[in-house]
Structure 1
Amino acid sequence: MNIKILSANANLYSTKRLLEAAKKRGHDIEVINHTKCDIVIEKKNPVIYYKGKQLDKVDAVIPRIGASVTFYGTAVVRQFEMMHCFTTTESVALVRSRDKLRSLQILSRAGLGLPKTIFTNYSKDVKHIVDQAGGAPVIIKLLEGTQGIGVILAETKKAAESVIEAFNNLQARVIVQEFIKEAGGADIRAFVVDGQVVGAMKRQGKEGEFRSNLHRGGSASVIELTDEEERAALKAAKAMGLGIAGVDMLQSSRGPLILEVNSSPGLEGIETATGKDIATIIIKYIERNVD
């Protein structure tokens, strides 16, 4: 098969692992910087050029689209879809996953457990917002934040009100979520491929840090999901329309609570924690879906 990895950085762990796994299974594979692609749109003839060369006879693409280039990256994925290429992440699901508010609404409609979340149009009644989230402490998140950036724990009501007011004055949209104390600064990442949980890890924030992101110094260890957690992960990925997903959830007294469904989950943390070859599992997923 002719496979393209859409990645702006060929040196990233995930990109290199996918490249290695595909080559081991005998496929022609190349890393394409999607931000350097040119899209040609005309009647019944979608074309993509990369470095002056037309990309044709492509069987499948693996989008590894960074959050900062979602708009253009999605357009490139959509163009490949118009060229009848299989994509491990569909363009509409990619757009959906990058919108935190829309994602939460979709997950809520699917009947999944979520931390109580408040969103307003720069409301000046910040006291009411904090009360609606269950009172302090609360988590305040920028809608455009990634990897734990733009996520704040406000431990008192006064602090929460001050942070919300500051973001409102900057015209920065935020969501306010209840703080799940019993999670203990840890969350679970379930890695889903083609309707199966292929690996799971528990991420623990470093001491004094409520965010468990590995990019922020958190640690990861393998975990066996409960039946309820596995069902929640699979249901979340399906609701978002993602064939590959990293489903992040909290363990709470009322069951698993979904935080986020990531459409471009990294491989380094999950492969290191579980010892599993997730990259090859992804390549096999492509093989099952391409004639």
Structure 2
Amino acid sequence: MKIAFVINQTHKEEAYYTTTSLALKALERGHEVFYIGLADFYYDPEVVVGAHARQVSPHESIQTESDFIHVVRETEKSLVNLKQIDVLWLRFDAADEMISRPWAAAAGLQFAELAQQQGVFVINNPEALTRASNKLYLENFDESIRPKTIVTRNYADVQNFFDKNEEKIILKPLKGSGGKNVFLINKESAQNLKQTVEAIARDGYIIAQEYLPEASKGDLRFFLLDGKPIEINGQYAAVRRVQPENEIRSNVHQGATMHAAEIDENTLKVVKLVADQLVKDGMYLVGLDIVGSKIMEINVFSPGALQQASELTGQDFISVIIKDIEHKIHDRKK
């Protein structure tokens, strides 16, 4: 099987990324791996969608994630016809491209759509990813699992929302990732509300959300594969992310630590309320960020922390995913 991963840029990939673990596991199972940057696609009038890709085959010298990243970076690009690829896996962070390469993410999705039209199995569905390119995607799901939210660029709207929600809200960019520009505004910091709104609004729309008290204990990153929880021996692919003291963000990039997650019936009920729509949208691998009984974000581009979930539980969730793809490709080729 030939699996191509679409990433932002090769030199920005790291050994600890979930994408790296997925690629290494595919190699270990005998598959060929290709890395395609968002600037590497190719199209010609003969309706051929291709890419200048870095191709890596299984080799005894590649034993670890660090080995793999080193080999990928040292491999020269070659032009590949995407019709020859079995899986095109979109694993880039669209928010990372907003400032320096605002064209990159949209172009990547367009090329992925063309590849999908030619019969390539694309993860996740690029048409749905276009609709899910910012946090408004969550508003398509059951109201009971969503925190109270408004989206605006107007300070008066935010002030009104602040007053209605006990003067304690979260502000963040509509399009963003990694916990960047996320702020807690309460009575003590209310004097900074206007300044904060103006700062976030410089780059686009703002999301204002109610503050959930359970967030003080961190959040839960919970993975779904084709609409189903990834489970082995009663252990779920999930981690609890706990923020450092005096920090509201549970993102690892902001200093949060990973802990084993306890999954109860309430969590599974919340997950079940979004599963059918995710399958309908073609969202094959998804990471849900859950606080209490609310989903704060639905991560559909490049959700991370799968390898940490495996380490904390002692279960190989990465293999479950690669094996499932193998079955899907086998069925498609029948």
Instruction: Work out the percentage of aligned pairs sharing the same amino acid.
Output: 28
Conserved? CA contact 2:38–2:105, under 8 Å = no
Conserved? CA contact 1:214–1:269, under 8 Å = no
Q: Are 2:98 and 1:61 aligned?
A: no
1:227 deviation in Å? 1.9
Q: Name the aligned partner's letter for residue 118 of structure 1.
A: I
Conserved? CA contact 1:126–1:165, under 8 Å = no
Classify the secondary structure of the residue corresponding to 1:15: helix
Q: Are 2:282 and 1:224 aligned?
A: no
CA distance in 1, matches of 2:248, 2:43: 42
Classify the secondary structure of the residue corresponding to 1:61: strand
CA distance in 1, matches of 2:239, 2:78: 42
Name the structure 1 match of 2:192: 159
Classify the secondary structure of the residue corresponding to 2:207: strand
1:187 deviation in Å? 0.5
Name the structure 2 match of 1:48: 50
1:185 deviation in Å? 4.3
Classify the secondary structure of the residue corresponding to 2:156: coil
Name the structure 1 match of 2:2: 2
Q: 1:77 to 1:278 in 2, by over 3 A?
A: farther
Q: 1:126 to 1:19 in 2, by over 3 A?
A: closer
Name the structure 2 match of 1:262: 299
Could you list the runs of 5+ residues in structure 1 that have no partner in the other structure? none
Conserved? CA contact 1:39–1:79, under 8 Å = no
Name the structure 1 match of 2:210: 178
CA distance in 2, matches of 1:127, 1:261: 26
Q: Are 2:322 and 1:275 aligned?
A: no
1:100 deviation in Å? 0.9
Name the structure 1 match of 2:245: 207
CA distance in 2, matches of 1:114, 1:230: 15
Conserved? CA contact 1:185–1:210, under 8 Å = no
1:126 deviation in Å? 4.2
1:232-273 alpha-carbon deviations (Å, 9 max, x no partner): 22432442431100000101xxxx101111111113433333
Count how many residue pairs are aligned between Structure 1 and Structure 2.
280
CA distance in 2, matches of 1:173, 1:273: 37
Q: Are 2:290 and 1:290 aligned?
A: no
CA distance in 2, matches of 1:203, 1:271: 14
Name the structure 2 match of 1:244: 285
Name the structure 2 match of 1:82: 117
Q: 1:194 to 1:164 in 2, by over 3 A?
A: same
TM score, norm. by length of structure 1: 0.86
CA distance in 2, matches of 1:49, 1:125: 45
Classify the secondary structure of the residue corresponding to 2:132: helix
Q: 1:167 to 1:60 in 2, by over 3 A?
A: closer
CA distance in 2, matches of 1:166, 1:34: 28
Superposed structure 1 runs of 4+ greater than 6 Å apart: none
Could you list the runs of 5+ residues in structure 2 that have no partner in the other structure? 53-76, 98-103, 231-236
Name the structure 1 match of 2:130: 95
1:289 deviation in Å? 1.4
Conserved? CA contact 1:88–1:286, under 8 Å = no
1:97 deviation in Å? 2.7
CA distance in 1, matches of 2:192, 2:79: 55
